[in-house]
Amino acid sequence: MKNQNYSNHARFVAGYHFFALLGSLVLVIGSIVNLVKTSHEGLYSASLITFGALILLFTTFYARIFALKAQDRVIRAEENFRYFLLTKKTLPQELTIRQIIGLRFASDEEFPTLTERAVKEKLTEKEIKKSIQTWRGDFYRV
């Protein structure tokens, strides 16, 4: 696997981002156009197709959101445990989940220091990631 860094750590899954999400959106738009242009006799079936397309779009969207939320919980637990192993303390309560997600890429050597800095300076996830000197890749993301 190639090394991760700030510029290449984002994950693009063509099957989801292009096919499923974009395809669902096109289906919704097409079904709405069909609903608007349909005659009175075809209104029932056109509205069912639109309803089904909307359900598919929401299902596609929420499948991703639910997986990311579960992953965020795992990241919080993993990073709390890693911080405890390194410092014998739990992560500061002031950290937001977005900050913790940014900190997961920091090496063990800079993790405690960057954590304290993130709390004191209220760094954003993006600022934390840009501050990392030795990147620790995460190759198992959703």
Mean pLDDT of 33-45: 95
Residue 122 in tokens: 């209220």
Asked whether the predicted pLDDT for residue 142 surpasses 90, the reply is: no
Helix locations, the chain, DSSP H = 21-37, 43-87, 97-103, 111-121, 125-131
At residue 49, the pLDDT reads 97
At residue 137, the pLDDT reads 81
pLDDT of 3-18, one tens digit each? Answer: 776 765 776 778 888 8
The residue among 67, 69, 114, 110 whose CA lies nearest residue 95 is 114
**CB-based contact 71:141 (threshold 8 Å):** yes
Which of residues 81 and 3 earns the better pLDDT score? 81
Sign, CA torsion 6/139/97/91: negative
pTM of the predicted model as reported, rounded to 2 decimal places: 0.76
Report in angstroms the alpha-carbon separations of 3 from 36, 99, 104, 106, 137.
50, 22, 15, 13, 7
Cβ atoms < 10 Å from Cβ of 7: 6
